[in-house]
Structure 1
């Protein structure tokens, strides 16, 4: 969908994983005899390409667009259209039995009405206000197995202080059918926002997307772990994770000949002596190794649990689980939810 030049907020969609990334093992790229196989066997082979995909949804705005685009650029980007839909007619028929066009969206009226461009005001003529309209659904999605991964601005706010949850941009008929949902740890602004704001962001996610498993995956990357450690965290964010988290990531990239990438959230936050920081974090985490935290004790779960513990409000959402997982392991956890 084209974004108007004066748009206050918009959503970006990117396929984070298509479930078909080949392993390092050699594989054949052609099989001329495939068309000679029995139809039933060909259909079974096409069905094997129906792997869980991860759809990344990012809420963006002009003021922070550069940072939000860099978040997307740091993550894998697969083709939006599932591979089954552009192989041949037979494969497409299999794909269309499982994928459908979805994810129309519109900016809530409270944001569209209040986030008017100042240049449109005139002393005598009021600006024309157009009622927000739903976009066309242009993303193929398999509601039985695909997952949604949220990042960017979870609670977009106008310059006048009006805000609306990002999940409320989405068609409710789509959100209520999602089976697996993940959210970027950084998007929760832990360490910047208070627990009430974090709880509110989480509540609006599960208010619109209620996964059947009763579990939301919170994705932690290397930058999140480093920032948490430098802010005084006594143990890694991801339960059972070691301080070698970042080291293993870097060694893997170097073995594969990939350039070393420093996550944008780390810029300006690391001390001058990275190795000193690493040793200090290692010693600190080792002191906690005998009694590592469990998933039910992670920092996000505590915020959710503590809010309901001190509240007179009862809700079916009180028992919702928030699992902190490595973002690089998200695909495995999505498969576990199938």
Structure 2
């Protein structure tokens, strides 16, 4: 089950005010939008739950605080790099398809170039939106993070954004979608993950990437490896990179799924089986290009990534896989 809370971003800086310098377009060529893909409240959305519990306020404070802490669950936050071009509408549709509905704020898609303007938002967990007591508990676990910046070398309008995404680095996962490799007008690429501050990305323990964005099988293995390398290099605290497959992509990826851990109970109360493929084409590409450094004795930036695992997982199982880590 996927849940949406709009978290579109505005023009800004790595922790400063929003800035733009192009008087011609007034809009950037590339930008990043964040949305809540999954809020972790799987077992709390059953139809049999009581509608209300008016006696909650009468419970001892220490018991209420313990109950609030139970709402701190692994979440998945989508970071989607969008480009102002002819594919924008398609990209936006893909972003919406990964969520449960429209954002409360978004693009003004009636503009002439169909690109609209960016809006503010904050991917706030449920715990921060209940009451003052719950929020005080939540602020012990969540912090604002993921400021980003795109330079004028890549975009006609340089754009940046201060930290506006609530994130729990111990539990939450970042799901990368959109333009993983942004190209300028001359064909030079800049990895999306390099738009984010390394001080933030190196703290993320769980990271996923949309399999379709890797361009397999159209792109050559060296291009795919380059994309994988940029993500693995930026997110060094993550022991594995989860590559999420949308419906219909399993055959393209030549998957041989094996049963993983038992998943959480679904809406019907049945517990499903999470399927993952740890012996896959992406792992082979990774090992093939990393083979030249696996035997080196000295530990450098490359050898530290040799043991990184590329794991294929169904997108519908992504939340269960992350919750089981």
Question: TM-score surpassing 0.5?
Answer: yes
Change (3 A) 1:110 1:207: farther
Q: Which deviates more from structure 2 when the two are superposed, residues 4-13 or residues 162-171?
A: 4-13
Match of 2:41 among 20, 32, 52: 20
Match of 1:39 among 50, 58, 61: 61
Match of 1:9 among 24, 30, 33: 30
Is 2:136 aligned against 1:154? no
Please list, as runs of the form range in 1=range in 2, the aligned pairs for 1:166-185 lying within 5 A after superposition: 166-185=192-211
Q: Does the 8 Å contact 1:110/1:164 carry over to 2?
A: no
- CA shift for structure 1 position 69: 0.6
1: distance between equivalents of 2:221 and 2:139? 43
Aligned position for 1:219 = 244
Is 2:70 aligned against 1:52? no
Pairwise CA RMSD: 2.5
Match of 1:103 among 125, 133, 146: 146
- CA shift for structure 1 position 141: 0.7
Aligned residues: 263
Aligned position for 1:237 = 255
Higher strand fraction: Structure 1 or Structure 2?
A: 2
Is 2:311 aligned against 1:329? no
Change (3 A) 1:133 1:58: closer
Q: Does the 8 Å contact 1:54/1:148 carry over to 2?
A: yes
Please list, as runs of the form range in 1=range in 2, the aligned pairs for 1:1-338 lying within 5 A after superposition: 1-2=9-10, 5-21=26-42, 22-63=44-85, 64-77=87-100, 80-112=123-155, 116=156, 132=158, 134-212=160-238, 214-226=239-251, 228=252, 236-240=254-258, 295-310=277-292, 315-337=303-325
Structure 1 stretches of 5 or more lacking a match? 117-129, 242-251, 256-293
TM, length-normalised to structure 1: 0.72
1: distance between equivalents of 2:80 and 2:279? 28
Higher helix fraction: Structure 1 or Structure 2?
A: 1
Q: Does the 8 Å contact 1:151/1:184 carry over to 2?
A: yes
- CA shift for structure 1 position 25: 4.4
The one of the two structures with greater contact order (alpha-carbon pairs below 8 A, sep at least 6) is 2
Q: Does the 8 Å contact 2:176/2:210 carry over to 1?
A: yes
Q: Does the 8 Å contact 1:238/1:324 carry over to 2?
A: no
Aligned position for 2:108 = none
Structure 2 stretches of 5 or more lacking a match? 1-8, 12-19, 21-25, 102-121, 260-265, 269-275, 297-301
1: distance between equivalents of 2:277 and 2:132? 46
The structure with the larger Rg is 1
Q: Does the 8 Å contact 1:104/1:136 carry over to 2?
A: yes
